[in-house]
Amino acid sequence: MRLPSGGQIDRTQKLSFRFDGQYYKGHPGDTLASALMANGVRLMGRSFKYHRPRGVLTAGSAEPNALVALRTGGRQEPNTRATTIELFDGLQAFSQNAWPSLRFDALAINDRLSNFLTAGFYYKTFMWPAAFWEKLYEPLIRRAAGLGAITTKPDPDAYDKGFVHCDILIIGAGPAGLMAALTAGRAGARVILADEDSRMGGQLNSERFAIADMTAPDWAAQILAELSTRPNVRLMSRTTVFGAFDHGIYGAVERVSDHLPRPAQGKPRQILWRIYSRRAILATGALERPIAFANNDRPGILNAGALRSYANRWAAAPADTVAVFTNNDDGHRTAADLMAQGITVAALIDTRADAPTLPGVECLAGAQVIDTTGRLGLNSVTVRLANGRTRKLKVGALGVSGGWNPNLALSCHQRGRPRWDDTIAAFVPTADLPPGMSVAGAAEGQFSTHAALSTGAARATQALADLGRIATPPDLPQTEDTPSRITPFWHVTGDKRAWLDFQNDVTVKDVKLAHQEGFRAVEHLKRYTTLGMATDQGKSSNMGGLAVMAELTGQSIAQTGTTIFRPPYTPVALGALAGRSTGQDFRPRRLTPSHTWATEQGAVFVEVGLWMRAQYFPRAGEKTWRETVDREVLATRASVGVCDVTTLGKIDVQGRDAAEFLNRIYCNGFAKLAVGRVRYGLMLREDGIAFDDGTAARLAEDHVVVTTTTANAVAVYRHMEFARQCLWPDMDVQLISTTEAWAQYAIAGPNSRKLLQKLVDPGFDISNDAFPFMACTEITVCNGCPARLFRISFSGELAYELAVPTRYGDALMRRIMAAGAEFDLTPYGTEALGVMRIEKGHAAGNELNGQTTALNLGMGRMVSTKKDSIGAVLSRREGLNTPDALRLVGFRPKNPKARIPAGAHLLAKGAQMLAANDQGYVTSACYSPCLQTHIAIGFLKDGAARMGESLRAVSPLTGEDIEVEIVSAHFIDPEGERLRA
Amino acid sequence: MIINHPLLGPCDAQEFIYKGDARLIDRPDGMSDGAEAAFYDYAYLRDNPAGEHRELWFHEQGDRSWLVVTRNTLTHEITSVELARDVARSRGRSA
């Protein structure tokens, strides 16, 4: 029901919304929960395990019960808390975990089966047979017990990431946070004040008492008005600080658009903030805890403070006649406020024999609520009076207060363990806080408003002093400073089920069972009963569970201890963590200078590392990619082809010690590499395993250009810098990555020289005598364009690589194509490149796979013993040099049409498919259009000595089992005559 | 985490790549007697202290300095950050 007056809602405007298809009206300022309550809706969900009807328990983010699916389509979000959803016009929400309807839920049968569904039930019940777990039990349990379902549609909204720095981060904008912000703001410090609520002020927005001569909400508004004028203060409402990370870094989610039907044009839905702070003040207030008693989970039974908030802030109440059940003085304040808002309080039930009285209401001291009635909403409560008699009260709502817990979750994020404080009967933070953090107000256990204001000012003053600023704390306004009196009381003794954790359906009985079965440590208790798990992380339930366990073990709560909290404080959407890194933008895409040209040729691209490389260039009439690749290979080998090899890593090595440096990086010799010459180099890891290969071209005495594989470019550069800075800090050598500075094209085939001669400027002689195989030089092409020319070959043909500065890459590619027209120049992609290198038996990523050595690759003799180079010593280990070590060999199928599966393992004829019989494996396979047969290369035990042998290539994955002959990996031109032509 | 780079000041740890124990600086001489045993130690044997740990970080998205960061593995407190090159020199490494 909506109360006739009061509340921070705008009654002049009406908002229309739907819950489970039913239309309702609310006002701006409402949450979904307050609007439903104002419309007389108490039933908002079904519980996790027993499908018990549930209503709202809290008025904030600790809510365990009122979880709904919000919105529809791609924006549908499960498990949102009705208590934190700001109402907007057209809002649609749906109840969860109920079928066919919220009022009649077939799985409520679980409630009757509760004797079988107690703590640890699935550890016991579903043990046998093991195979049933995955196929039957788990799907069944998942369907029966659960929260909302996610949508499978893509999220249409954008999420941003933001980085922000401040001197002092203040978390929570209640009285302590506001006073801290005022103190620090006036002192000129850079302040961020963050609060999860849409309206700052915290608990003050729910109170009726005065601060100075104003109402509490008005006082908060006045402070906020001043703060908002200060340029050094940033107010971040709707922002949940969810984690305290290392070195003063805090994670926060700002819900920019969640209060709107959809984000405004160009606005994100949420922003994930990374807040860098020098000091932080935790001012997150306190959370009320319930008392467990029989059937204490009915819709209409809620925390007393929440009942007060709904009445004061939203002018809403679940019923016109209510009762309050408390063990502390704050319950009395609730009763008083409810009466002030015109609600009838049937009784104030206080467990304390010495309870104070409250004018206007019957106070039942020393009484307890022992049971309730009302299946879909509370009808009555049964009270056992101090004298032992019982009395039944007809009420539509019951406010319960078991005391307040300092909301200290963030104080634990770096393993701080809270300490039990007897005076407030709650855990409080210790000095073991995340460095730079201090705690103020109720979060510290200072429950009066005056104490909140004064500690807020004091913590800010101290933080400012730490940062070298002197502050004058503002005068503290006059306000309530009542001591918080409480006599701990956790649960009413009885036979019926009394709920401790509403979200996970954990009752006092479950804790007793855990105790009986030996799961007594707090961490065991949590895992065995699921107490404190899921979306609310036990904000309302942990304390009760611990207290019951303490009672059972005969220990004090201090001795029992508490579980601690990890980030996030409240659930964070995965979309917010991903930010803009989704779909195409998941990671950057690197395009080579000839990308546009390749696109014009109709190239099909493949992702290599971050690069988009042309895979093949299909022509009209070609039906399969194989047809295209075969043509590209044959044309290159017959005349000339061109391939973009820009993506290979390039590292410029300069300095007097450049050659000596490379001599230590590569396992083969480099010290004597002559100027104008290129050498193939193999890099090992220090453990002797092959790391990467490439070429090094000596352009001058003190200048060598190194290439790496595309995939390893970054790792090789990092490795070389490590060697330069950490191993040989005084070598005269400098490194820089020039991968993106040069566009590079491989021109391969018998006509490649003739083609190049048309591009190279006069004055540069590239004849075979002047520019032999493995030569390199700096030249100019196309009338003065600076270029580097390398006579190196991956294809096995007469071949060159021509590099020009990136900005000329596109133009050069077009010139090459024009010059090559008379030779039928064919552009080829990575597939043809791969076929040609397999035909030549050149190792690539499949062979340099992190498990192979130089010996395995057939390059064992390259590892120089005359010098010290990285990996050389351990490459000589006995275990890597056994006679049956794997060797790189080639394979030809007995049937040339039979495809050899890459990844297949090699077995002798008739051998069983067992690891013990494994002879080696196939790494790279293709169809060779030149040899007109499928071929492959791979590793075989003692392979070099087994030429001509027949084995089987077996792939259990694809079911293929193919007879192959062992041959040399050099299928084409084994003597290398073509590349020297 | 924030790493206080000796040249650039405080930088977010996300800009760095972690390598491991800073004793990787003490690479044995591959041409000396007993090199194989020394390299076995060097490549495979690491302390795993609960507490202060000197470790190598590479400022990959920054100035490409290798740093030696002294970090407490229990609290993540960083007590010193040095250029690895300076550390290497102080440990007798040169050209």
Contact B84 A876 (CB under 8 A): no
Q: Work out the pLDDT band at A114, boundaries 50, 70, 90.
A: confident
Contact B30 A276 (CB under 8 A): no
Q: Is the pLDDT of residue A93 over 90?
A: yes
Q: Which CATH architecture has domain A159-286+406-466?
A: 3-Layer(bba) Sandwich (3.50)
Please say whether the dihedral angle defined by the alpha carbons of residues A877, A879, A880 and A882, taken in this order, is positive or negative.
positive
Contact B95 A657 (CB under 8 A): yes
Element (H, E) at A313: helix A304-314
More confident residue, A118 or A771: A771
Contact B25 A877 (CB under 8 A): no
Predicted pLDDT of residue A111? 83
Please say whether the dihedral angle defined by the alpha carbons of residues A754, A760, A765 and A769, taken in this order, is positive or negative.
negative
Q: For chain B, which residues lie within 8 Å of any Cβ of chain A, measuring from their own Cβ?
A: 1-2, 17, 19, 24-25, 27-31, 35-36, 39-40, 42-44, 56, 58, 60, 64-66, 75-78, 83-85, 87-89, 93-95
Q: Which residue of B has its CA nearest to A868?
A: B30
Element (H, E) at A34: helix A32-38
Mean pLDDT of the region A800-827? 98
Q: Work out the pLDDT band at A105, boundaries 50, 70, 90.
A: confident
Q: What ipTM goes with this model?
A: 0.99
Nearest Cβ partner for A729 among B2, B19, B89: B89
Q: Which CA distances in Å does B18 have to A717, A780, B83?
A: 15, 42, 14
Query: Chain A contacts of B88, Cβ < 8 Å?
Result: 725-727, 729
Predicted pLDDT of residue A49? 86
Predicted pLDDT of residue B41? 96
- Six-digit token string for A504: 């996970």
Predicted pLDDT of residue A690? 98
Contact B85 A725 (CB under 8 A): yes
Closest Cα in chain A, distance from residue B84 (Å)? 6
Mutation choice for A interface testing from B12, B33, B66 by most A CBs within 10 A: B66
Residue with tokens 């209640």: A174
Nearest Cβ partner for A873 among B30, B77, B88: B30
* pLDDT one-digit tens code per residue, A10-48: 999 999 999 999 999 999 999 999 999 999 999 999 988
For A52, other C-beta atoms within 10 Å of its C-beta total 24
Chain centroid offset of residue A721 CA: 31
Mean pLDDT of the region A745-755? 98
Closest Cα in chain A, distance from residue B78 (Å)? 9
Alpha-carbon gap, residue A460 to A462, rounded angstroms: 5
Mean pLDDT of the region A821-833? 98
Predicted pLDDT of residue A582? 92
Q: Is the pLDDT of residue A410 over 80?
A: yes
**Mean pLDDT over all residues of chain A?**
95
Give percent above pLDDT 90 in chain A.
92
Nearest Cβ partner for A718 among B58, B83, B88: B58
Q: Where are the domains of chain B?
A: 2-90
Please say whether the dihedral angle defined by the alpha carbons of residues A515, A519, A523 and A527, taken in this order, is positive or negative.
negative
Nearest Cβ partner for B93 among A686, A721, A727: A727
Cis peptide before A568 (omega within 30 of 0): yes
Q: Is the pLDDT of residue A130 over 70?
A: no
* pLDDT one-digit tens code per residue, A481-506: 988 899 999 999 999 999 999 999 99
Mutation choice for A interface testing from B23, B58, B78 by most A CBs within 10 A: B58
Predicted pLDDT of residue A109? 79
Q: Is the pLDDT of residue A115 over 80?
A: no
* pLDDT one-digit tens code per residue, A670-712: 999 999 999 999 999 999 999 999 999 999 999 999 999 999 9
Residue with tokens 């995955």: A134
Contact B56 A722 (CB under 8 A): yes
Chain region(s) in chain A for CATH 3.30.70.1400: 649-737
Predicted pLDDT of residue A150? 84
Predicted pLDDT of residue A484? 82
Distance between first and last Cα of chain A: 95
- Six-digit token string for A478: 């006059």
* pLDDT one-digit tens code per residue, A182-236: 999 999 999 999 999 999 999 999 999 999 999 999 999 999 999 999 999 999 9
Q: Is the pLDDT of residue A121 over 80?
A: no
Chain region(s) in chain A for CATH 3.50.50.60: 159-286+406-466
Mean pLDDT of the region A327-335? 97
* pLDDT one-digit tens code per residue, A304-321: 999 999 999 999 999 999
Predicted pLDDT of residue A677? 98
Predicted pLDDT of residue A146? 66
Pairing, β A437-439 against β A270-282? parallel
Q: Which three-class secondary structure state does DSSP give residue A611?
A: strand
* CATH number of this structure's domain A15-109: 3.10.20.440
Element (H, E) at A836: helix A830-840
Positions in chain B whose pLDDT score sits under 50: none
Alpha-carbon Rg for chain A, nearest whole angstrom, is 37
Contact A729 B93 (CB under 8 A): yes
* pLDDT one-digit tens code per residue, A353-385: 999 999 999 999 999 999 999 999 999 999 999
Q: Using alpha carbons only, give the angle A788, A792, A796 rounded to the nearest 5 degrees.
A: 150
Predicted pLDDT of residue A145? 61
Q: Work out the pLDDT band at A141, boundaries 50, 70, 90.
A: low
Pairing, β A301-303 against β A390-394? unpaired
More confident residue, A965 or A120: A965
Nearest Cβ partner for A727 among B27, B65, B77: B27
Q: Which three-class secondary structure state does DSSP give residue A835?
A: helix
Residue B55 phi/psi, 5-degree rounding, is -145, 160
Predicted pLDDT of residue A609? 85
Q: Which residues of A804-831 are buried (b: 16+ CB within 10 A; e: fewer)?
A: bbbebbbbbbebbbebbeebebbbbbbb
CATH topology of domain A596-647+741-836: Gyrase A; domain 2 (3.30.1360)
Contact A726 B66 (CB under 8 A): yes
Residue with tokens 């949450």: A31
Q: Using alpha carbons only, give the angle A444, A452, A282 rounded to the nearest 5 degrees.
A: 45
Predicted pLDDT of residue A142? 65
* pLDDT one-digit tens code per residue, A613-657: 999 999 999 999 999 999 999 999 999 999 999 999 999 999 999
In this structure, of A469-478, A797-806, A807-816, the range with the lowest mean pLDDT score is A469-478
Work out the widest C-alpha separation in chain B, in whole angstroms: 43
Q: Is the pLDDT of residue A125 over 80?
A: no
Contact A414 B42 (CB under 8 A): no
Closest Cα in chain A, distance from residue B80 (Å)? 14
Query: Chain A contacts of B58, Cβ < 8 Å?
Result: 718, 721-722
- Six-digit token string for B49: 């202290």
Pairing, β A419-421 against β A426-428? antiparallel
Q: Work out the pLDDT band at A126, boundaries 50, 70, 90.
A: low
* CATH number of this structure's domain A882-981: 2.40.30.110
Is A44 within 8 Å of A95 (Cβ atoms)?
A: yes
Q: Is the pLDDT of residue A132 over 90?
A: no
Nearest Cβ partner for A728 among B31, B44, B93: B93
Alpha-carbon gap, residue A770 to A790, rounded angstroms: 13
More confident residue, A135 or A281: A281
Predicted pLDDT of residue A112? 79
Alpha-carbon gap, residue A242 to A778, rounded angstroms: 58
Q: Is the pLDDT of residue A921 over 70?
A: yes
Nearest CA to A382 among A344, A334, A349, A345? A349
Predicted pLDDT of residue A328? 97
The residue type at A862: M
Query: Chain B contacts of A877, Cβ < 8 Å?
Result: 36
* CATH number of this structure's domain A649-737: 3.30.70.1400
Predicted pLDDT of residue A78? 93
Alpha-carbon gap, residue A673 to A653, rounded angstroms: 14
Nearest Cβ partner for B85 among A729, A867, A876: A729
Nearest Cβ partner for A718 among B36, B43, B60: B60
Mutation choice for B interface testing from A873, A874, A877, A878 by most B CBs within 10 A: A873
Distance between first and last Cα of chain B: 33
Q: Is the pLDDT of residue A914 over 70?
A: yes
CATH superfamily of B2-90: Folate-binding superfamily (3.30.2270.10)
Query: Chain B contacts of A246, Cβ < 8 Å?
Result: 1-2, 76
Alpha-carbon gap, residue A515 to A510, rounded angstroms: 9
